[in-house]
Each structure stands twice: as structure tokens, then as C-alpha cells.
């Protein structure tokens, strides 16, 4: 393996390229590469690669490298929102113990449940809720595995329907949205999934639904999301946004009922070793003439 400097200023012949995980850096290097036949992405998402390298190059994704870390972020984000962790962080910073009673008022506003409850509601439970998992690839299946101990009712959606386990086609999404209290987006960004969740889909969700996006920002219509958060119809946990990076002063920064992290769900100390092991395995198969496990584009 030969590292290529960010400031590469001469053409080099490369048979197999492992691009920098940051697309901007990788695209600066690409114009100086010649004879590339195989691209091994370290990332599960490869949206920018086909348009950069062309159809004559085989591309493999880093599928599997993000499974555990992204699934853990997703489950952690769900629990954080249902246990009102962002609110209680505000309470901690304020140093006012009595503010804990605001949690009950927050619950009533978020869910629309105005019944007199005693003791006051401080937290919600994940157990027994219906979770709609939009995307049932490797990361989606890992999220499902991690949700199993919480006794949730799981609805699965993928590009096409499957029977074992029961997976609904994405064409049925609108009929499933009203059934869930938690909606998780973990599908690739494609022309078909762009703005899959807009104002109409959000309007179909229950009052207080938790919308979690660990996929790609443009899968949601940001303007529709901001409006729904400001109205109090839903709450959200986002690791990705559109635009990204999210600029200073963007309305999402100040939305209530929102947990926002800056595209870090896949980041852990294990990512580098795991993704390089994936790439090494693909390289061995490529050299041996064996089928590639994570090919997303075969050279034409």
C-alpha cells in the first residue's frame, strides 16, 4: 500500500485505489491517477464515486465497517430522546433541581397526552413502542438486532418486499408511517430516496413521533422538517443534515425537540481497522479472481 499525499502534483499509475474517507480530499487526488481498475471505499456510502471515476472502474463499498457504531448511535439517540437527556442536560447546566418537573409539561406538549398523571412523567419507555425501520440493509439489520431486547414492535421497509422476515416495499411507506412512534431512516441516498420524507409524510406521523436519521441528509426535506419541529408535531434525532456541513445560523441549530450530532455516528476507534480489513478482503478476492462481496458497480 502506497499513501498518496493530499498535495499530489504529478500523474501516477494505480491499479487499486482506496480513496480518502473525506470526498473533497479524494477528488483532489483523482485527476492525477491513471489506469485505476478498482476503487475500494472505506465508507458504506459511495454516492460521489461513480460520477468521479466513471463506469469503466469497479467500485466496492465499505459495507460492514459502520454497522456497529451507527447502530449503537441510533439506539442511543432513541433512548436519549425518550429519556429526555437533552432536556436534563439543560437542567444540569441551570443548576436548578426543581426544573425536573418541566419534563412532565414537555411530555404533554410532545405527545398530546394531557391526562393528569401522578407521579409526574419524567421519562418515556421504548419498550412496547412501534419502530418503523426504513432501510433493511446491513446497518438496518444491526439496528434490529440491538433493538430486540427492548420488546418493540418492528416494521421493516426496503426497496422491495420480502417475506422472511416480513419486509414491506417502500411504495407502502405512507400506509406504515401512521403506525409508528419511532421512525428510523437508514437507507442509501438515491434519486428515488431523495426527499423521501417531506411535509406529506411528516403529516402522516403520529403526534410526538420520533424521527431518527442516521442515513443521509437529503433523504428528508429540511424545510419540512424544520416546520414540523417548530410546530411541535414531531421530534427528531439527526446525525446527518441537508445542507452538510450545517452552516452557522441555520434554523436546525435552534430547533426544539431535536438532538443533533455532526455526522459522527459511524466514527469509533474500531472504524479504521475494520474498514481496512474489509478492503483487504476485497483486494484478496479481486487478485484471486473471486466474486467481490461489496461491489456496487462493475466495470463496463
Active-site positions read: 216, 244, 263
Q: CA 262, CA 73: separation in Å to the nearest integer?
A: 12
> Are 157 and 166 contacting, i.e. CB atoms less than 8 angstroms apart?
no
Q: Give the DSSP per-residue string, 103-164.
A: HHHHHHHHH------SSPP-----TT-EEEEE--SHHHHHHHHHHGGGT-EEEEEESS-BTT
User: Which residue has cell 469503466?
Assistant: 56
User: Any residues with CB less than 8 A from the CB of 231 and at least 6 apart, and which?
Assistant: none
Amino acid at each position: 500500500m502506497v499513501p498518496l499525499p493530499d498535495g499530489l502534483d504529478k500523474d501516477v499509475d494505480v491499479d487499486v485505489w482506496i480513496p480518502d474517507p473525506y470526498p473533497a480530499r479524494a477528488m483532489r487526488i483523482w485527476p492525477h491517477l491513471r489506469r485505476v481498475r478498482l476503487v475500494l471505499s472505506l465508507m458504506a456510502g459511495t454516492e460521489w464515486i461513480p460520477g468521479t471515476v466513471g463506469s469503466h472502474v469497479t467500485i466496492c463499498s465499505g459495507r460492514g465497517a459502520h454497522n456497529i457504531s451507527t447502530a449503537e448511535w441510533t439506539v442511543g439517540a432513541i433512548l436519549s430522546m425518550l429519556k429526555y437527556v437533552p432536556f436534563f442536560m439543560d437542567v444540569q447546566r441551570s443548576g436548578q433541581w426543581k426544573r425536573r418537573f418541566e419534563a412532565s409539561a414537555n411530555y404533554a406538549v410532545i405527545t398530546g397526552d394531557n391526562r393528569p398523571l401522578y407521579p409526574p412523567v419524567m421519562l418515556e419507555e421504548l419498550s412496547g413502542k412501534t419502530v418503523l425501520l426504513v432501510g433493511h440493509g446491513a446497518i438496518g439489520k444491526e439496528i434490529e438486532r440491538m433493538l430486540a431486547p427492548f420488546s418493540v414492535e418492528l416494521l421493516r421497509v426496503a426497496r422491495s418486499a420480502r417475506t422472511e422476515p416480513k419486509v414491506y416495499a417502500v411504495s407502502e411507506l405512507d400506509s406504515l408511517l401512521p403506525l409508528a412512534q419511532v421512525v428510523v431512516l437508514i437507507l442509501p441516498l438515491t434519486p428515488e430516496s431523495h426527499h423521501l420524507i417531506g411535509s406529506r409524510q411528516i403529516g402522516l406521523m403520529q403526534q410526538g413521533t420520533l424521527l431518527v436519521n442516521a442515513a443521509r441528509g437529503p433523504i428528508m426535506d429540511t424545510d419540512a422538517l424544520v416546520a414540523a419541529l417548530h410546530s411541535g408535531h414531531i421530534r427528531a434525532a439527526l446525525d446527518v443534515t441537508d445542507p452538510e456541513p450545517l452552516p452557522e445560523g441555520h434554523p436546525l441549530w435552534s430547533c426544539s425537540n431535536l438532538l443533533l450530532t455532526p455526522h459522527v455516528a459511524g466514527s469509533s476507534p474500531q472504524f479504521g481497522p475494520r474498514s481496512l480489513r474489509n478492503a483487504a478482503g476485497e483486494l484478496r478476492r479481486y487478485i484471486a479472481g473471486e466474486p467481490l462481496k461489496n461491489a456496487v458497480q462493475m466495470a463496463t
